[in-house]
Structure 1
Amino acid sequence: MWNLPNILTLLRIALIPVFVVVFYIEAWWTPYAAAAVFGIAALTDWLDGYLARRWAQTSPLGAFLDPVADKLMVAVALVVLMQADPRILLALPVMVIIGREITVSALREWMAEVGARATVAVSQLGKIKTTVQMISITLLILRDSLLGFWVYPLGLALLYIAAILTLWSMVVYLIAAWPSLSGQTAMNTRK
């Protein structure tokens, strides 16, 4: 249970309040430090899964904690970004992303109850969505410029791409789950 992949997942959860505190410090270096904390947390997301598979250290605790850590990290980052820039331009993709995470989490929970959890397992599309999302949030945290490049507009554009991928992956999961949701699976079993 206390293997390196699970410790990295717990580290990601522990970095969430650190990120929030650093984000609200008023200093010239704050965006860089907050982006670094978020970036480290995002890297642990990739690393813990890689190590768990590579070292055959997957566990029920890790399978539970990993998606929780991801959703907490992303939701908290998006909420503080919204507070810093409360415009509709940012609010739209934030609503889509958080709404999708709630929907897919509920869908996975329900599918697990009916014994069809594998139907809505994480797909390659979901992994691409997560990567684009993490990069976009990191750029939005940086806010202004990095090495002379204005990163906020790029971060916002990538967040819209992430929101589109988010909706797309949700539709894929809903289509896969539709036979169970509509009761068709139960009817087919009785025939």
Structure 2
Amino acid sequence: MPFNIPNSLTWARIALIPIFVGVYYLPGTWLSDHERNLIAAGIFIVAAVTDWFDGYLARTLHQTSAFGAFLDPVADKLMVAAALIMLVQLSRVDAILAVIIIGREITISALREWMAKLGEASSVAVAFVGKLKTAAQMTAIPLLLYNARLFGFEVRPLGTFLIWVAAALTLWSMGYYLRKAAPRFREE
């Protein structure tokens, strides 16, 4: 495993997950609900920014690696899954949305691994619809975590709308990737 700045940022994202979840399990006398939500949203935003930043640094500093390419999406999926599970527990996201989003991530990860073994990883490379899904998801989650007024604006309805958009784009992108791999399904 190469030790470099991008991989260190990815490991830091993974290390933030138990802290992120733990915020909601601290005694009520330590933090108010608003403080919990603010800290959790902040941690999630830091994780999202480091996700972009580690990829940028890997390319800029020429520190890309096979391990980094493997670990980065794992860290993303772990953070998103942890956030969605917490949001379901907090009754801010319907469980079906979490199942759709997490289930798609597992399915597409397995599909990409299988296609890579067949030497056809490029046929299921990240598509624009996947990037739209990620943008909607990474905007919705911190809004739903924060769950309060921001600059006089109630953010939860926007977060709820965007998580539904993310779920719809999740299904659309999953269909897109499965169609791209369909010829291989028929061969196997």
Q: Distance in 2 between matches of 1:95 and 1:167?
A: 11
AA of the residue aligned to 1:3: N
For residue 24 of structure 1, report the CA deviation from its aligned partner. 3.4
Whether 1:119 and 2:102 are equivalent positions in the alignment is no
Of 45, 55, 58, 1:52 maps to: 58
Of 131, 156, 160, 2:160 maps to: 156
Trace 1:40-189 onto structure 2 (pairs within 5 A): 40-85=46-91, 90-183=94-187
Q: Structure 1 residues 146-155 or 69-78, which shifts more? A: 146-155
- Structure 2 stretches of 5 or more lacking a match? none
**Matched residues, percent identical?**
54
For residue 145 of structure 1, report the CA deviation from its aligned partner. 1.8
For residue 92 of structure 1, report the CA deviation from its aligned partner. 2.5
Aligned to 1:13: 14
- Structure 1 stretches of 5 or more lacking a match? 187-191
AA of the residue aligned to 1:165: L
Question: TM-score scaled to structure 1, two decimals?
Answer: 0.90
Q: Distance in 1 between matches of 2:157 and 2:25?
A: 21
Q: Distance in 2 between matches of 1:47 and 1:56?
A: 14
Q: Distance in 2 between matches of 1:83 and 1:105?
A: 25
Q: Distance in 2 between matches of 1:177 and 1:167?
A: 15
Q: Distance in 1 between matches of 2:98 and 2:158?
A: 16
Q: Distance in 1 between matches of 2:47 and 2:77?
A: 12
For residue 108 of structure 1, report the CA deviation from its aligned partner. 1.0
AA of the residue aligned to 2:25: Y
Q: Distance in 1 between matches of 2:74 and 2:60?
A: 21
For residue 133 of structure 1, report the CA deviation from its aligned partner. 0.5
For residue 52 of structure 1, report the CA deviation from its aligned partner. 1.1
For residue 102 of structure 1, report the CA deviation from its aligned partner. 1.2
Question: TM-score scaled to structure 2, two decimals?
Answer: 0.91
For residue 123 of structure 1, report the CA deviation from its aligned partner. 2.0
Q: Distance in 1 between matches of 2:79 and 2:24?
A: 13
1:129-168 CA distance string (max 9 Å, x none):
1121011000010122222211111101000111111111
Work out the number of aligned pairs and report it. 182
Q: Structure 1 residues 117-126 or 160-169, which shifts more? A: 117-126
1:19-76 CA distance string (max 9 Å, x none):
0112334313111111001100011111111111222211011001001001100001
CA contact (8 A) 1:22 1:30 kept: yes
AA of the residue aligned to 2:56: Y
Q: Structure 1 residues 91-100 or 74-83, which shifts more? A: 91-100
Q: Distance in 1 between matches of 2:24 and 2:52?
A: 23
Aligned to 1:189: none
Q: Distance in 2 between matches of 1:39 and 1:98?
A: 19
